[in-house]
Structure 1
Amino acid sequence: MKINNYIFLALVFFLISSCKEQKKQADKIEKKQPNVLFIAVDDLNTMIGSFGGPAKTPNMDRLASMGVSFTDAHCQAPLCGPSRASLMTGLRPSTTGIYGMTPDNEIRREGNPTTKDITFLQEYFENNGYHTMGIGKLFHIHAPDSTFNESGGRVKGFGPYPEKRFVWDGFGTADKKKYGRTSTDWGAFPENDTLMPDHKSANWVIERLHKKYDKPFFMGLGFLRVHVPLYVPQKWFDLYSIEDIETPPYKFDDLNDIPPVGLKINDLPMMPTTEWAKESDEWKKIVQAYLACISYVDYELGRVLDALENSEYGDNTIIVLWSDHGYRLGEKGTFAKHALWESATKAPLIFSAPNLPKGKKINAPVEMLSIYPTLLELSGLPAYSKNEGISLMNMMKNNEGLKDAHAITTFGMNNHTIKTDRYRYIRYEDGTEEFYDHSTDPNEWTNQAKNADYKTQIEKMKKQLPKNNSKWDESSSYSFQPYYVEQKERTSGADNKPLKIIGAER
């Protein structure tokens, strides 16, 4: 009997020890699960320092040195709302029909069969054991209700604003009945950084980086700048001497070979034209203000990176920095995104992670749509079957897929552009086309769509166009340009009344 008791006690001891060891191993595995810092910068083009641009961006450059930079990344729509909806759902605009601005809470709804059951990026992490947090502009406004465990919300608009605009009234030469008003303006305002909403957003994130969590976290941070109005304190303007500012390449008759649909899309009379900027001596000042805004955001990014490095999470956090689209600073005759040309679709994309190369640059074209699946693979999470983008993990680690890489951008129903390493092909809804060879024409000044020498290449790129072109989603609208009002009504018979979206002034 005594022997049996000893055996029983030994067995109990063994089971307890085994359970403790398993718990230790589980804790180790849980601790190794990486955190995610997801950083969106609004309207940021590729003028940052590490991408060869003139902007003074020591912190973006620092982040680039920590990981992998994609110097030819492209948005899925050259407009905030549909671009962000695409990235956060993992679906193309041509799949969802979300071509315009859509209230955050209307992206996933019964009326849209492609999105009614979608799992947003942050939700996927929550479903896989993450504590999710977010502040600022992540979707078009902030985020759909209750999709973050902790939400810091979003300050309304893109302020702060002075009592009177400095230069631009927001209407330009536009017919106020047909066009919206833009937030476009530029100048030094306010007096200091602490008055900027982005400063408060950075503070919110920094505070949370000093807390302890019992599970890995997903932290979303959406900066409002570089979105217009181009207002930041004077000290950021002082970084750039107006005499040293270089304006982008521009050709007066550049649009003479553009199809009618392309001209309608580029019809933006509420924006300053390049000719006006030249004649009024404001062009360099607009570029200076844009660069000042980039440097300001870079400063706020630096504060967040410092806090992360000084926290217990510095060695085990994935960071991705991206923008929703590029921004034209006089190219193609205006100052805006709103186009299927290079300067509107291209934006920075940088990944940093413990298991990625450091300081690597990849020049192959990629899509912002790839952020969702890439973050899942970097985090060791199972792939999400509904994602239409592809993970960039093998490209970053093994240089796989470089040869066939391409990116697709869509603006409105059945208007698409495809970018490869050398070419850009644009096809509009009526079948008219543009084609550019970047090896001889990096500024996209000469439309070669009718040049027989490129016929084979054009046919090849046509095959990469989206096969599905969904009608406009009922809740998606873009009343800022008459063309999109007309297209939605013509293709779906749906009403395209302006949506009351807080902070939606362009």
Structure 2
Amino acid sequence: MKWIVFGFATMIAFAAIGLTVNKSPQQQHSNVILICIDDLRPDLACYGNPLIQSPNLDRLAKRSAVFMRQYVTQPTCGASRYSLLTGRLPRNKVELTNEAIEKEIAGKPRGEKPETFIDNLRRSGYYTVGIGKISHSADGFVYKYEEPKSNVLELPHSWDEMLFDPGKWKTGWNAFFAYADGSNRQSKRAQVKPYENAEVDDEGYPDGLSAKIAVTKLRELSERRQPFFLSVGFFKPHLPFNAPRKYWDMYHEARIPLTQSSAIPDKVNPASLHQSAEFNGYKLGDEMASLEKPVSDAYARKLRHAYYAGVSYVDAQVGKVLDALTQLELDNNTIVIVWSDHGWHLGDHRVWGKHTIFDQALRSVLIVKTPEMKTGQVRHEIVSSIDIYPTLMDLCNVKAPAGLDGKSFSGMLGNGKSTNWDNVAYSYFKQGISVRTDRYRLTKYFRADKPTIELYDHKNDPHENHNIADKHPDIVQSINPVWAKGNTGLFN
């Protein structure tokens, strides 16, 4: 009997140890939350803009690595997200378009497409949930703006669950271009303003509904004995610049500064920029934008006011997700990544939009929090969005596939030094290839319009107002070998 009791007690002890091991963050794969924010340039307090009201992202930044110089590969939503998800530079012109994921991944069996990091995590035992715009589609399904929602996933092998609540707007694309009364840009035949402040609560616009789903889903995921990957894609501050009025009321419009790049850069062909077609597609705007002259200062401030309100609105939705993570005691074993798919010209170089390979369109937000990080750090290394895939695999202890163009920066996340880091990022658009180095941006265009080479010195000209390529051919020549490494043959 003594030995039976001893054996029974031993079994209980080992069971208890087993349970402890199962619950120990050190012995598990970390959970992952990826928050994607559409069209968010690094206009946050933690990125140095003291005017922006972004308390939730700033709170996260105090316990995270904030990458001050992270660049996307393409300044348009679908293409940028394609490179993020696949860890690859673009190699054909389809990969420069918003249809990149639809044409290169959707509807194709495994093995005939690049494997996204979500696919990889799912194959490695993660339970994967998507909410909102993570790929290009507003709700993760392939269909045109004015069509009924389909049942064809953009990322067919990525998700255990793909969720979205379109609310009164009925479909994801209607919700993406939503106005508070339930209408959208399509239903109004573009006879709408590019901004709105409505007397509604957070769920009066779609991002509030996405945050609500995310909080509910986190409660469910907290009860699963399985690591999870949860991604939430928020729409704002993408056009139209619509937000509940309380977020507009956070700002005094007269105090909002204007761009420091009000003209086309010196010695730059207008072909390097664009005529703000997406912005001008909102037909009831107070003024139309063009490269010939800037919009009035009053309208520029109104638009910046609207954009800033959208930033504060989405910050509040991110805060709800982060608060739920803490309340459910998941924060001690969850990696949090906040990323935006590109920047945006808020009148910079007379452009209202993102489709350029200037810094204003390419530089975006990247904040990374690992469970071990208790204090924040500001990283000034140059990283690319394609580096997120291998980094995430390192952090999750999952093998990365061969053929990735990115490289892991996981060693930077523990206050480590960036040893053997080359400090370059490549970007592609408008028949051009651009490389950002520690000091310079060198861009070459494959076109007839001259000049085709642009060089910007970020030490002396951080806003890229002066193309100095003709004055410094020696610098262009010295950077040429670095630029050439990013030439994937896309425009040859």
Q: Which amino acid aligns with 2:215?
A: I
1:137-156 equivalence runs, <5 A: 137-141=133-137, 142-143=139-140, 144=154, 145=156, 147-153=158-164, 155-156=172-173
Provide the residue aligned with 2:457 in structure 1: 437
Q: 1:164 and 1:147, CA in 2 relative to 1: closer, same or farther beyond 3 A?
A: closer
* 422, 429, 442: which one aligns with 1:411: 429
Q: 1:417 & 1:123 partners in 2: Cα distance?
A: 30
Provide the residue aligned with 2:178 in structure 1: 160
Provide the residue aligned with 1:273 in structure 2: 289
1:24-63 equivalence runs, <5 A: 27-28=22-23, 32-53=28-49, 54-63=51-60
Q: Which amino acid aligns with 1:464?
A: K
Contact 1:68–1:359 (CA<8 Å) still a contact in 2?
Answer: yes
- Cα shift readout 1:214-270 (whole Å, capped 9, x = no counterpart): 201100000000100001011111111011110111243x2452246425xx24355
Q: 1:195 and 1:333, CA in 2 relative to 1: closer, same or farther beyond 3 A?
A: same
Q: 1:377 and 1:64, CA in 2 relative to 1: closer, same or farther beyond 3 A?
A: same
**Residue 160 (structure 1) shift:** 2.4
Q: 1:22 & 1:96 partners in 2: Cα distance?
A: 55
Q: 2:107 & 2:201 partners in 1: Cα distance?
A: 45
Q: Which amino acid aligns with 2:479?
A: I
1:271-420 equivalence runs, <5 A: 271=280, 272-273=288-289, 278-279=295-296, 281-356=298-373, 358-397=375-414, 398-401=416-419, 404-411=422-429, 415-420=432-437
* 226, 232, 241: which one aligns with 1:215: 226
Provide the residue aligned with 2:475 in structure 1: 454
2:97 aligns to what SS in structure 1?
coil
2:254 aligns to what SS in structure 1?
helix
2:335 aligns to what SS in structure 1?
strand
Quick check: 1:188 aligned with 2:197? yes
Q: Which amino acid aligns with 1:61?
A: D
1:479-494 equivalence runs, <5 A: none
Q: 2:461 & 2:215 partners in 1: Cα distance?
A: 44
**Residue 28 (structure 1) shift:** 4.9
Q: Which amino acid aligns with 2:289?
A: T
Q: 2:109 & 2:463 partners in 1: Cα distance?
A: 38
Q: 1:387 and 1:183, CA in 2 relative to 1: closer, same or farther beyond 3 A?
A: farther
194-203 or 99-108, which deviates more: 99-108
Q: 1:111 & 1:134 partners in 2: Cα distance?
A: 19
**Residue 132 (structure 1) shift:** 0.6
Q: 1:464 and 1:137, CA in 2 relative to 1: closer, same or farther beyond 3 A?
A: same
2:135 aligns to what SS in structure 1?
coil
Aligned length: 450
Contact 1:170–1:183 (CA<8 Å) still a contact in 2?
Answer: no
2:438 aligns to what SS in structure 1?
coil
Gaps of 5+ in 2: 141-153, 167-171, 281-287
Gaps of 5+ in 1: 1-6, 172-179, 472-490, 492-506
Q: 1:440 & 1:277 partners in 2: Cα distance?
A: 24
1:363 aligns to what SS in structure 2?
strand
Q: 2:100 & 2:456 partners in 1: Cα distance?
A: 35
Contact 1:64–1:359 (CA<8 Å) still a contact in 2?
Answer: yes
1:281 aligns to what SS in structure 2?
helix
Q: TM-score, normalised by structure 1?
A: 0.80
Provide the residue aligned with 1:82 in structure 2: 79
Q: 1:353 and 1:224, CA in 2 relative to 1: closer, same or farther beyond 3 A?
A: same
**Residue 110 (structure 1) shift:** 8.7
**Residue 104 (structure 1) shift:** 4.3
Contact 1:328–1:343 (CA<8 Å) still a contact in 2?
Answer: yes
Provide the residue aligned with 2:438 in structure 1: 421
Q: 1:449 and 1:28, CA in 2 relative to 1: closer, same or farther beyond 3 A?
A: same
182-191 or 63-72, which deviates more: 182-191
Q: Which amino acid aligns with 1:359?
A: G
Contact 1:448–1:454 (CA<8 Å) still a contact in 2?
Answer: no
* 61, 83, 88: which one aligns with 1:64: 61
Contact 1:40–1:324 (CA<8 Å) still a contact in 2?
Answer: yes
- Cα shift readout 1:7-36 (whole Å, capped 9, x = no counterpart): 9x9xx9999899969955863568632110
**Residue 192 (structure 1) shift:** 2.2
Provide the residue aligned with 1:487 in structure 2: none
2:98 aligns to what SS in structure 1?
coil
Q: 1:92 and 1:13, CA in 2 relative to 1: closer, same or farther beyond 3 A?
A: same
Give the structure with higher Rg (CA): 1
Q: 1:248 & 1:338 partners in 2: Cα distance?
A: 18
**Residue 371 (structure 1) shift:** 1.3
Q: Which amino acid aligns with 1:160?
A: A
Provide the residue aligned with 2:131 in structure 1: 135
Contact 1:183–1:228 (CA<8 Å) still a contact in 2?
Answer: no
**Residue 336 (structure 1) shift:** 0.3
1:405 aligns to what SS in structure 2?
coil
**Residue 418 (structure 1) shift:** 0.7
Q: 1:403 & 1:386 partners in 2: Cα distance?
A: 19
**Residue 395 (structure 1) shift:** 2.6
Q: Which amino acid aligns with 1:117?
A: K
Contact 1:170–1:182 (CA<8 Å) still a contact in 2?
Answer: no
Q: 2:103 & 2:91 partners in 1: Cα distance?
A: 17
Name the % identity.
Answer: 27
Contact 2:356–2:429 (CA<8 Å) still a contact in 1?
Answer: yes
Q: Which amino acid aligns with 1:404?
A: D
**Residue 363 (structure 1) shift:** 1.4
Q: 2:74 & 2:419 partners in 1: Cα distance?
A: 23
Q: TM-score, normalised by structure 2?
A: 0.82
Please, what is the CA RMSD of the aligned residues? 3.5
Q: 1:430 & 1:357 partners in 2: Cα distance?
A: 49
- Cα shift readout 1:112-148 (whole Å, capped 9, x = no counterpart): 99x8232222111111111111101000014324531
Provide the residue aligned with 2:272 in structure 1: 262
Q: 1:289 & 1:277 partners in 2: Cα distance?
A: 18
